[in-house]
């Protein structure tokens, strides 16, 4: 039985993956290189900002000390926020699914590798902030996806505010990447993949794959959890 739904943010709720890509490159350019779009989507998209910069340092591409990462994250956040205010949008089909879940009184959360100010900004601009009972962002965890820490924490927070205990197997995670799907499965949760960022062939580990979220029904979601 369906008891809760946890959404990823970038690429699931908002069309912002390309904005993150552009913001990363704006920060990396002064250091002498930029990421190609194909490699960003292939190798770095599922990472938090911290993990992405740390990985680039480890690969020898970004020649700075790890102590400088917080300053780069701050720079990248400013660029992203500027882009989000002018170009950010909610993906078609999201509002309809949120309405469906709210009408059925299903708890709704976000678990994202994005920073909280980025999430809050876009949700407030779209008038959707009050739809989510819990938000877990990059600042709340030590290990980003594909580690399950974020999803485990999100469910703990949902259970803190909900009278009846929600089991992981009764929770559906909505993701757009294989990193997120792997993390959700490791947390013992069911999964729906939406093909906003990757095609279905790269999301086969999901329990269900859809092209748009408004194609889902409550019956679909309950069946996944049965």
**In the predicted model, is pLDDT for residue 123 greater than 90?**
yes
Mean pLDDT of the chain: 95
pLDDT above 90 covers what percent of the chain?
Answer: 85
β-strand partners of 109: 6, 134
Q: What does the pLDDT read at residue 85? A: 85
From the list 165, 161, 187, the residue with the least C-alpha distance to 175 is: 187
> Which pLDDT score, from 0 to 100, does residue 47 have?
86
Structural domains present in the chain? 4-15+90-225 (3.40.50.1000), 17-87 (1.10.150)
Residue 42: Cβ-neighbour burial (10 angstroms; 0-12, 13-18, 19+): exposed
Write down the pLDDT at residue 132.
97
What is d(CA 163, CA 180) in angstroms, rounded to the nearest whole number? 27
Query: pTM surpassing 0.75?
Result: yes
């Amino acid at each position: 039985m369906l008891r809760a739904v946890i959404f990823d943010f970038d690429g699931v709720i908002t069309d912002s993956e390309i904005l993150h890509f552009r913001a990363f490159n704006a920060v990396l350019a002064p250091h002498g290189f930029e990421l190609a779009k194909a490699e960003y989507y292939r190798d770095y998209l599922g990472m938090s900002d911290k993990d992405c910069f740390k990985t680039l340092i480890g690969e020898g591409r970004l020649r700075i000390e790890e102590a400088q990462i917080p300053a780069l994250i701050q720079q990248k956040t400013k660029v992203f926020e500027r882009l989000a205010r002018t170009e950010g949008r909610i993906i078609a089909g999201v509002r309809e699914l949120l309405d469906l879940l709210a009408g059925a009184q299903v708890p709704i959360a976000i678990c994202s590798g994005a920073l909280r100010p980025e999430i809050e900004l876009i949700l407030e601009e779209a008038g959707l902030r009050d739809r989510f009972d819990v938000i877990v962002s990059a600042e709340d965890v030590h290990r980003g996806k594909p580690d399950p820490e974020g999803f485990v924490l999100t469910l703990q927070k949902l259970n803190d505010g909900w009278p009846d205990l929600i089991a992981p197997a009764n929770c559906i995670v909505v993701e757009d990447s294989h990193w997120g799907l792997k993390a959700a499965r490791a947390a013992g949760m069911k999964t729906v993949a939406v093909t906003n960022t990757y095609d279905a062939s790269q999301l086969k580990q999901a329990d269900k794959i859809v092209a748009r979220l408004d194609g889902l029904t409550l019956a679909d979601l309950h069946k996944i959890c049965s």
